Chains A and B, each alone.
Chain A
């Protein structure tokens, strides 16, 4: 069902922009959970008319995504957030207004550039490529414009989500094992990030990434 898929993709972009606009870290983490939920729905919407085996594949991926990206990873991040007790993104490198403006520019660039790329084979929805590129770019924007480490991890997740959307166009080509391997890597990644954040908050008393500037030539 192309319409359902398009709706999901549009919602994804709106969540991206919300993440750029908010200063509350907990809100950004919750938004990443919502994004995980949308991602879990996407394979189902894309394969509604597929064969049974294709549907089973989509169901597995959908379930795995739901468990990891909508529940487990946000829960881990929330725990880290409560442990270090820092809830607001104060004084980001770029103000919220400007970063929202940058987000709009990035979305424009994503749509413009994907119009110049060859179309995806098969019947993938037209929004798939621009939304995926926009999400990757917005994730990158979050990583480079925010100071709090947890927000940077959320940015990394947003980037991964954008790539995952792109991967949806290849669902038929990818063995389930591989897709689970990728999901698992992301999970372990967030886990390791969480441990480091916890250690840093214990060592430095706060966790702005810009205090990390001791190492240089």
Chain B
């Protein structure tokens, strides 16, 4: 019942917000629901929640991704307070749909992470698309409309393929074992060794392409840069930091079944192919990128590629991938929120028109520098550690070519990013620009996220390390 409430509370909170005209009431509901959600998700680490039938249950990977989502959502809710109040002065903005859709978005992501039934999980992923589409069209501009349409069409088609994959999996398991089979994950894992191989493999391919579209794996990533360049920054932070993980979880659920069936090699090859394609294509588009929000979107594509490569390499790299999922969410959440601060002060997403951030917005500038170094994989931040684990695992597994390719592509991406961001940070602010005010709530969340990433680079708390290791083992990892 707790699990059902965890999904229902934000969904009902969204409905409740619709009843109020005053945006301040909306923000109150947002804060109340998000802190309740965070407290519950946290408490569930200490008190187990009973499963709901065979549809909802909280296992380790689900709980890990639920916690990431919940933490990030709470941070974004704090950031949203000055953001939405500021937007009420913008005639083009639609602040009244913001909180309801944001809460429905949280409900859908919660459903994805707590579902134990693959068809329920699918319904959750589809719901994330529908709940977040109106958020992208927050600023009623033509370009935002275009981004919304592309997001809807590309993701809907992708997710439709994932549903086909889910049904393929149902076919692989039908007729195996006694009684009616189901799409419940526990049943699937138990029956996996006896499944019809052809259907199982097709199911995995469909899920990888379908959920991979939503996750932003190249070459299905094309919605991501358009969406992120138009979506409000808090929404971008959630799309990148929380939603992409949820879609990744979708792929991983199918991978668990493939692993249990003993067909891991073929799936690993696919992970490596899509992973390296994502890192490579993203790196190519990051070099010479003109729009800094698109730059961060391509960086998300790159990092999703890193996750896929980590799982594809297996062994210790799977642990690296799980750690990297945490690091990337924290970093990218911070970066998009900071991009929002820059956008508000300069009024443009074109990198060439932004100069002197460190002078004009000192706090945002310093945090942006830290966030850039972190996501670029510079020590001593968290992503350096997780990428190093993946690299090391590749060299030990006599896959030296892959290891070198991995490092070279990451270096290109880092240089591409530096080339865009460093001129923005340094230089003189335009002389006629008004002095900018930085609301404290727009800095708290990025600051906390950056500190967390810094800590993760130096020291990983034992409980977190245990959870990551155990999760990695479920996805074919091993202690390295």
Contacts and interface: CB of A to CB of B under 8 A. Distances in A.
Interface string B162-200: 011001101101110000111100000000000010110
Give the interface size bracket for B toward A: 35 or more
A47 B199 CA distance: 24
A51 to B, nearest CB: 12
Nearest to A182: B123
A4 to B, nearest CB: 22
Give the interface size bracket for A toward B: 35 or more
A209 interface: yes
Contact of B123 (A172, A178, A213): A178
Contact of A118 (B170, B182, B196): B196
Nearest to A188: B130
Contacts of B145: 196, 199-200, 203-204, 212
Contacts of A120: 171, 174
A203 to B, nearest CB: 5
Contacts of A192: 130, 133-134, 152
B120 A189 contact: no
B387 interface: no
Given A173-B180, A199-B145, A200-B145, A185 B160 contact: no
B359 interface: no
B149 interface: yes
A55 to B, nearest CB: 16
Nearest to A160: B160
A212 B119 CA distance: 33
Interface string A134-169: 001000100100000100100010011001001101
B126 A189 contact: yes
Interface string A76-116: 00000000000000000000000000000000000000000
B294 A217 contact: yes
B455 to A, nearest CB: 35
Contact of B182 (A121, A173, A212): A173
Given A178-B123, A181-B123, A140 B149 contact: no
A196 B137 contact: yes
A169 B175 CA distance: 11
B55 A170 contact: no
Contacts of B126: 185, 189
Nearest to A178: B119
A172 B183 CA distance: 11
A215 B141 CA distance: 12
A163 B142 contact: no
Contact of A163 (B160, B199, B225): B160
B142 A214 contact: yes
A204 B163 contact: no
B281 to A, nearest CB: 11
B152 A193 contact: yes
Contacts of A118: 196, 198-199
Listed residue (B140, B146, B173) with the most chain A CB atoms within 10 angstroms of its CB = B146
Interface in B278-306: 285, 289-290, 294
Nearest to B136: A196
Interface string A27-71: 000000000000000000000000000000000000000000000
B148 A117 contact: no
A121 B195 CA distance: 12
A136 B164 CA distance: 9
Contact of A185 (B130, B143, B174): B130
Contact of A204 (B142, B196, B225): B142
B205 to A, nearest CB: 13
B199 A117 contact: yes
A156 B157 contact: yes
Nearest to A156: B156
Given A174-B183, A199-B137, A159 B160 contact: yes
Contacts of B225: 215, 217
A121 B149 contact: no
14 contacts: A118-B199, A121-B174, A163-B164, A170-B183, A173-B183, A185-B126, A188-B130, A192-B134, A199-B137, A204-B142, A215-B150, A215-B229, A217-B285, A217-B294
Interface of B: 55, 117, 119-120, 122-123, 126-127, 129-130, 133-134, 137, 140, 142-143, 145-150, 152-153, 156-157, 160, 163-164, 167-168, 170-171, 173-175, 180-183, 196, 198-199, 202, 225-226, 229-230, 285, 289-290, 294
Kindly list the 3 A-B residue pairs having the minimum CB-CB distance in the complex, ordered from nearest: A121-B175, A181-B123, A212-B146
